[in-house]
Structure 1
Amino acid sequence: MRIEGPVKPGLRMESADGRRLVLLKGTVPVLFARQRATHRGVHYARTGRYASPLPPLRAERARAAAESAAPGSAEWSERWAAYAEAGLRAAADGPLHTGEWLLAPDAHRWFVDANWPKLLAHDPDRGHLTWFGYGDPVEDARDLLPLRALSHPEAPRVKAYRRQYREGVLPPVFAWWISGLNSPVVLDGHDRLTAALAEGGRPQVLLLSRAADAAWVARWAERPVLEYEKRVATLEGPLAPTRIANESRMLAARLRSIVHSYDLTRAWPFPGGAPGWDAAASAHVPGWAPDADR
């Protein structure tokens, strides 16, 4: 996606010295975060004031999308990406700002299957995400951060989405990659996330991120293309066409992951710097005192 504006979006990250981060929706803080000095993780505190920039999804749209393309297919993902793009472009409080963006399925296999159940079992409003896991609690190894508390699996709206999951028509979760957190956050679809996990499944996820620079993509694509050409040039015999086809598929997957690389998330300076951030955190998440020095 090529976005022409605004320069500063309504939903945005702001930062201050000392690895201090805050996610704002307009002037309202929805998430405070503090990176650890050892770069092993990030402490966070939700304020309970997040609301999706996208309108609620009606069941009729979910079923229509499933009828027009097989759920989980590339065409199905593209249709939902187009839906989300239109909604985010129209949103006054969305994350899009001037530049190139991607909205697509995860090409980097970020989500570890074993980490999904932890979201239902351990999703505190004030918690910690481990980046490497050494010496940290096992439950802190989560790959997705909800921006509000997840609803109970038996909540009416979640139960409706659980039916959609069983029918195979549940829309994807829209997530946003934030490099300062080294994690995607749930932009839209908290209840759909809960529904899929409550049914013992995994949600389909479309990830929003800033697109990597074209020159960077070209540089990183050079080596796999050269290696592919060398391998293919040596293939001979009756199995050569099959082996070339296999090499081509692997090259396509590698290039796709390079093209879909996540660029750094833009963060604006927080007014008042570190003292202003500390005061805002005390006001919106009183008593939160993350141990960010270890």
Structure 2
Amino acid sequence: MAFRTDDTENWGLPLVGPGLLLDVPGAGRWSGRPSLHVEFTSRFRLRVSSGGQPLFWIRIDDWWHGCGVLRGTVSTPWGLPPLSAARVRDVPHEPGSSRWWEAWTWHMAKELAQATHPVLHAGRWCLRPLRLVTAREAVPYSNLPRYQTGGPLDPPHGLERLLHVERFWTEDWYGGGVPAGVETNSGAVLPLRAPSPEDNGRVKSWRKHAREGTLPPALLLYMDIVGKWCVLDGHDRLHAALLEGVSPPLLGLWPVFEAPIPENPFRREGTWFAAEAQFRSRNGGPEGIDRANRTLLREYTGVHRVAVTRAWPVRGGLEAWRAEVLACRRWNAFPADAQAWDWFTSLTE
């Protein structure tokens, strides 16, 4: 696996530090489905699985007005090794500084590369430090199906839901498309397990780090088809930050697709004129010249990087998906609104 600096500037996210591009080979352990992956079947049904067991079943409304989510009961076999106190002490740089972010980004990249139960699959991935946004700053739905590969990412928000894990719920993305449920914005953070008790030793230890400003970043994975960030690593760190009322540091991970940009001689000529004007005037000093150089590099790169979630077919298709959903509730009884549940399990619109 090869690591290199991510020079992408058009992710559209509030980035707070340097990032990496991870080029994962297509041979060996990387050639098949990773331990944590997304599966799909017809009529916009999804299953998020880990270690061969379902974490979530998701149904998206046929008109893309919302979705329903059913949480499974599986544990977390993809998990990265727990962070130790010694590892935290090994990062001596000022928290939040460029060198601090660089150290943690490289650490997480190496952990992902060496994971016993991998999250990565063959292809290119991006790992970047992110800033949490408020609900007011979050990107509103509606989320729409795309007819081209990949799309932009939406910034993470809504950590408060990490402490209120539900078994089944529906979300309103547009209004009127699904039974009444939770209104949400794109970029919501989705926990992959229930929170630890407040008196848990690791939560108490991380609370001390949160108070001192030395909390290591949590790792989030973006699923672009439903506009959500999944917590891959750091549930207890996020819990500690919420209890202390501080904004936690975050690292975002997403698969990258490089969409070719058709060559446009008029646009290219305009880019050259703008860059030459910047070089002659020197307005903005070295930073302005650097921006002009980066603009020229992007123009001649020939690709536009977007986020894309790869999905594999559900074995057995739609009928198998529905049978699993019904069995989950049969063996693990939980309350659910009758209308919402009937819609979620229906094979029709």
Shorter-normalised TM-score: what interval? 0.7 to 0.9
2:164 is the counterpart of 1:119: no
| Residue 326 (structure 2) aligned to one of 269, 282, 285 | 282
After superposition, the C-alpha distances for 1:100-151 in whole angstroms (9 at most, x for unaligned) are 1111124xx7x43234353256542323455457997666346211111223
State how 1:80-229 maps to structure 2 within 5 Å. Answer: 80-106=104-130, 111-114=132-135, 115-116=157-158, 118-120=160-162, 122-131=164-173, 140-141=184-185, 143-213=188-258, 215-216=259-260
1:265 aligns with 2:291: no
Answer yes or no: is the 8 Å Cα contact 1:235–1:244 preserved in 2: no
Q: CA contact under 8 A between 2:128 and 2:252: conserved in structure 1?
A: yes
Q: Where does the alignment leave 5 or more consecutive residues of structure 1 unmatched? A: none
SS at match of 1:71: coil
Partner Cα distance (1:223, 1:44) in 2: 47
Structure with the bigger percentage of strand: 2
How many aligned positions are there? 284
How does 1:240-251 map onto structure 2 within 5 Å? 241-242=283-284, 245=287
Q: Deviations over 1:17-59 (max 9, x none)?
A: 1111111112211111111222133321221323142011112
Take 1:101 and 1:221, find their aligned partners in 2: how far apart are those partners?
Answer: 28
Among 57, 62, 69, which residue is 2:88 paired with? 62
Query: What amino acid is aligned across from residue 127 of structure 1 in structure 2?
Result: W
SS of the residue 1:281 aligns to: helix
| Larger proportion of helix | 1
Cα distance change, pair 121–190 in 1 and its aligned pair in 2 (3 A): closer
**Matches of 1:165 and 1:203, distance apart in 2:** 8
| 226 and 185 in structure 1: CA distance in 2 versus 1, 3 angstrom threshold | farther
1:75, 1:222 → 2: CA distance?
A: 40
Query: Within 2, Cα distance between the matches of 1:140 and 1:112?
Result: 14
SS at match of 1:86: helix
Question: Is 1:48 the equivalent of 2:73?
Answer: yes
Q: Percent identity?
A: 31
CA contact (8 A) 1:224 1:251 kept: no
Higher relative contact order (CA 8 A, sep 6+): 1
Q: CA deviation at 1:89?
A: 2.1
Following superposition, the deviation at residue 206 of structure 1 comes to 1.0
Q: Give 5+ residue unaligned stretches, structure 2.
A: 1-21, 136-156
Of the structure 1 ranges 141-150 and 242-251, higher mean CA displacement relative to structure 2 is found in: 242-251
**TM-score relative to the length of structure 1:** 0.79
Q: Secondary structure in 2 aligned to 1:212?
A: strand
Give the Cα–Cα distance (whole angstroms) in 2 for the partners of residues 126 and 155 of structure 1: 26
Measured in 2, the distance between the counterparts of 1:260 and 1:161 equals 39
> CA shift at 1:249, angstroms?
5.1
